[in-house]
């Protein structure tokens, strides 16, 4: 899968948070969101 | 966490994804000093990493001079490297800005572990998108 590009639709997803809640991307739209994908060097 | 306050003041949300089990996330929050206002998400199966095109680095990328130099600077700056990991250290990350409408404003998939956009780049991309320059 290639890196997405500006203008593409962001794939929706649901993951669990450190508090144990479910977090779904589509439920948090309405403002810009930065998704920071961790690597081992921050 | 870099300049998260400035981004919050712009009305920008931040979430951080880890390719880890949920139980490891509190350890990461402490280790990296991530504020409680930023949700940490566990993508243990890396399905979201794959869907967004995050790469697996080669050994040459993982141990590039740029990465070694950055690690050296961070260690000299006080970063502790004692955190154990049983995760895939070749998994690379990135930064993706999703607009209010669900479309990508900026996607940066890292070429190595030291490669990431500056906060200024992220802020400029959001400002451009708000001005309709996407």
Could you read off the pLDDT of A2-40 as tens digits, one per residue? 999 999 999 999 999 999 999 999 999 999 999 999 986
What is residue A40's predicted lDDT score, i.e. its pLDDT?
A: 67
Please tell me which residue of chain A has the smallest CA distance to B22: A18
| B92 in Cβ contact with B56 (< 8 Å) | yes
- Whether residue A4 and residue B107 make contact (CB cut-off 8 A), yes or no, is yes
For the question of whether the overall pTM of this predicted structure is more than 0.90, the answer is: no
What is residue A7's predicted lDDT score, i.e. its pLDDT?
A: 95
- Whether residue A18 and residue B29 make contact (CB cut-off 8 A), yes or no, is yes
DSSP B24-70: GHHHHHHHHT--TTS-EEE-TT-HHHHHTTPPBPPHHHHT-HHHHHH
- Whether residue A1 and residue B51 make contact (CB cut-off 8 A), yes or no, is yes
The rounded distance, in Å, linking the Cα atoms of B134 and B128 is 6
Residues (pLDDT < 70) of chain B are 1-3, 79-86, 133-134
What is residue B81's predicted lDDT score, i.e. its pLDDT?
A: 60
ipTM confidence = 0.93
- CA of B9: how far to CAs of A32, B21, B100, in Å? 12, 31, 16
């Amino acid at each position: 899968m290639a890196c997405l590009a500006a203008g593409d639709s962001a794939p929706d997803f649901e993951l669990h948070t450190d508090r144990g809640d479910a977090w779904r991307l589509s439920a948090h739209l309405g403002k810009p969101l930065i998704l920071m994908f961790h690597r081992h060097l921050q | 966490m870099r300049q998260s306050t400035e981004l919050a003041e712009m009305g920008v949300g931040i979430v951080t994804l880890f390719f880890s089990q949920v139980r490891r996330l509190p350890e990461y929050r402490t280790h990296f000093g991530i504020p409680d206002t930023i949700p940490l998400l566990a993508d243990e199966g890396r399905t979201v990493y794959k869907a967004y095109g995050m790469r697996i680095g080669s050994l040459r990328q993982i141990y590039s001079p740029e990465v070694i130099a950055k690690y050296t600077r961070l260690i000299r700056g006080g970063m502790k490297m004692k955190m154990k990991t049983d995760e895939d250290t070749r998994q690379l990350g990135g930064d993706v800005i999703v607009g209010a409408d669900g479309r990508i404003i900026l996607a940066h998939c890292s070429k190595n572990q030291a490669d990431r956009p500056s906060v200024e780049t992220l802020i400029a991309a959001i400002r451009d998108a708000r001005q309709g320059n996407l």
